[in-house]
Structure 1
Amino acid sequence: METIEELTGHLLRVAKDLDQSKRYLVAVAGSPGSGKTTIATQVIRKINEYSQATYDVDMAGFVPMDGFHLTRAQLDAMPDPIAAHARRGAPFTFDPHKLKKLVERLRKPIGSTAITAPSFDHAVKDPLEDDIQVLPTQRIIILEGNYLHLKDEPWCEIAAMMDELWYVDVDRDLARERLIARHLKAGLADTPEAAGARADNNDLPNGDYIKANAVKPTRTIKSAQDPRLKEQ
């Protein structure tokens, strides 16, 4: 398994030779429970520790896909709202067109003002607009989310705009173990059995779909039983 230090070193070397007007975009994808969020955020933190010490700026930015969930009101308006809410997290419960527009902005020459992106408010269970800022100094941008490598339209158009695609591969049983712990911690299930059912009926099938329908990644990162890789 590539270490956080190795991934960080790679991106720092890329940044050294990067045209000053451009950003370098990396899409980290994988099934729920793969550890992609932790890997992405740790790499971002390490890059910014270096750039703060060296240049007194943050060189790297992080944009998770969570902010591109459809709202609960949009799910309510679907033909089968009960199924839509139950399957929240599946590809059809996101807005990839909105995400594509953000990526197109990130691909343009860097200007003097920040670019904003939505986050996800877990208290209200809906996106929060303009909550994330991508600063002009942030030239390495890691986008993270389950479906950033899909062959399906328009996801494949998003993948094509990336400089690198990192796929986090995880054993299915390990992912299930992590998902059960996550759902219990988040209060999404009251018992391990209910948490397991949630994983089996939504998260793991989504992961299977991702694995079967993803474009070839630039690199594959093997997720192991490592406490650093447990998604929060």
Structure 2
Amino acid sequence: MRLDEGEALAAARDLAARPGLALLGIAGQPGAGKSTLAERVVAAVPGAVLVGMDGFHLAHATLTALGRVDRKGAPDTFDALGYVALLRRIRGLDGLDHPEVVWAPHFDRGIEDAIAGAVAVAADVPLVVTEGNYLLVDEPPWRDVVGLLDACWYVDLDEDVRRTRLQARHERYGRTREEARARTWGSDERNAALVSASRSRATAVIDGK
């Protein structure tokens, strides 16, 4: 199923209208527009909350110590098990008494690090939107994510447009033009290939903008 943005927002409202909490995933390649769509969904659905997968980046200092900082954004630079555990907790599947508020981390691009306990997910939230590259990847532990979601969309964007935007974003956050291009066509492109291979697991494909 392919949806434009208007249809996607209507589908999100339908999810939120169901009894209880709904979990909507938004996946896609780096630079495809996942964050933008997720923010628009949250703005369109009263009471919705955004919980990004990027909040589970390993700390920058940890990646430096592990020798992975140049590959930041690759699957092994995240606490994937922690992310799955948070989704299970939001679902109330962790075997614990469900608290009034579940606290989630937020990734701050300004400091290139995650901030713990930055996002409050109250028990009465109608819709939690979670976005990230690897939500649909069929490899452990990522493959457990999709089973915790009510729906998971894949954002599709023209490859040339996506890469141009991605390079510009890298430059905006302090990389030189050469560094940004190397990152876009290097580790980001390898990550993009992995994400693209997971597209068939999506419940809908959304036209990126």
TM-score by length of 1: 0.82
Of 131, 136, 157 in structure 2, the residue corresponding to residue 170 of structure 1 is: 157
In the other structure, the counterpart of 1:95 is 79
What is the correspondence of 1:83-162 to structure 2 with a 5 Å cutoff? 84-108=68-92, 113-162=100-149
Residue 138 of structure 1: how far off its partner (Å): 1.6
**Alpha carbons of structure 1 residues 120 and 14: separation in structure 2 relative to 1, 3 Å:** closer
Residue 126 of structure 1: how far off its partner (Å): 1.9
Instruction: Identify unmatched segments of 5+ residues in structure 1.
Output: 49-57, 224-228
Asked if the contact 1:119/1:129 (under 8 Å) is kept, the reply is yes
**Alpha carbons of structure 1 residues 123 and 179: separation in structure 2 relative to 1, 3 Å:** closer
Residue 46 of structure 1: how far off its partner (Å): 1.2
**Identity level (%):** 34
- Name the Cα RMSD after superposition: 1.9
Asked if the contact 1:30/1:146 (under 8 Å) is kept, the reply is yes
Asked if the contact 1:28/1:167 (under 8 Å) is kept, the reply is yes
CA distance in structure 2 between the partners assigned to 1:177 and 1:123 by the alignment: 20
Asked if the contact 1:67/1:127 (under 8 Å) is kept, the reply is yes
Q: Which amino acid aligns with 1:169?
A: D
CA deviations on 1:91-136 (whole Å, 9 max, x unpaired) are 0000110001110011128956111101123343221110111123
In the other structure, the counterpart of 1:226 is none
CA distance in structure 1 between the partners assigned to 2:112 and 2:154 by the alignment: 27
CA deviations on 1:39-85 (whole Å, 9 max, x unpaired) are 1110110112xxxxxxxxx2x1111111100112322342xx1xx11
In the other structure, the counterpart of 2:176 is 190
In the other structure, the counterpart of 1:37 is 35
Residue 180 of structure 1: how far off its partner (Å): 1.4
Q: Which amino acid aligns with 1:206?
A: N
Bigger mean CA offset, 29-38 vs 130-139: 130-139
- The secondary structure found in structure 1 opposite 2:188 is helix
TM-score by length of 2: 0.90
CA distance in structure 2 between the partners assigned to 1:164 and 1:130 by the alignment: 25
- The secondary structure found in structure 1 opposite 2:145 is helix
Instruction: Identify unmatched segments of 5+ residues in structure 2.
Output: none
CA distance in structure 1 between the partners assigned to 2:59 and 2:147 by the alignment: 26
Asked if the contact 1:26/1:164 (under 8 Å) is kept, the reply is yes
**Alpha carbons of structure 1 residues 92 and 215: separation in structure 2 relative to 1, 3 Å:** farther
CA distance in structure 2 between the partners assigned to 1:122 and 1:165 by the alignment: 24
Asked if the contact 1:165/1:217 (under 8 Å) is kept, the reply is yes
Count of equivalent residues? 205
Asked if the contact 1:151/1:214 (under 8 Å) is kept, the reply is no
CA distance in structure 1 between the partners assigned to 2:89 and 2:123 by the alignment: 12
Structure whose CA Rg is larger:
1
- The secondary structure found in structure 2 opposite 1:177 is helix
CA distance in structure 1 between the partners assigned to 2:207 and 2:10 by the alignment: 18
**Alpha carbons of structure 1 residues 3 and 173: separation in structure 2 relative to 1, 3 Å:** same
What is the correspondence of 1:53-68 to structure 2 with a 5 Å cutoff? 58=47, 60-68=48-56
In the other structure, the counterpart of 2:184 is 199
- The secondary structure found in structure 2 opposite 1:130 is strand
Bigger mean CA offset, 62-71 vs 1-10: 1-10
CA distance in structure 2 between the partners assigned to 1:152 and 1:215 by the alignment: 14
